[in-house]
Amino acid sequence: MLDVSDSDPTHVLNCSPQQQQQLSLLLKPYGIEIESVAEHDAIQGSFFGEREAGLIGNKLYLRHDTPIHSALHEAGHYICMDPARREKLNTDAEGDYDEENGVCYLQILLADHLADVGSDRMMSDMDSWGYTFRLGSAKAWFEHDADDARQWLTHHQIIDENQKPTWHYRQ
pLDDT of res. 24: 98
Q: d(Cα 107, Cα 126) in Å, to the nearest integer?
A: 10
Q: Please choose, from the candidates 129, 131, 133, the residue with its C-alpha nearest in 3D space to the C-alpha of residue 143.
A: 133
pLDDT of res. 61: 98
pLDDT tens-place string over residues 71-89: 999 999 999 999 999 999 9
* pLDDT reading at 155 higher than 50: yes
Q: Which pLDDT band, with edges at 50, 70 and 90, does 10 fall under?
A: low
Transcribe the chain into DSSP letters: ---B-TT-TT--BB--HHHHHHHHHHHGGGT-EEEE--TTS--TT-SS-TTS-EEETTEEEE-TTSBHHHHHHHHHHHHHS-HHHHHT-BS-----HHHHHHHHHHHHHHHTTSTTTHHHHHHHHHHHHT---TTSSHHHHHHHS-HHHHHHHHHTTSB-TTS-B-S----
pLDDT of res. 125: 96
pLDDT tens-place string over residues 101-145: 999 999 999 999 999 999 999 999 999 998 888 888 999 999 999
Q: Hey, where are the domains in the chain? A: 17-155
pLDDT exceeding 70 applies to what percent of the chain? Answer: 94
State mean pLDDT over 93-107. 94
State mean pLDDT over 158-168. 98
pLDDT of res. 26: 98
pLDDT tens-place string over residues 51-61: 999 999 999 99
* pLDDT reading at 17 higher than 50: yes
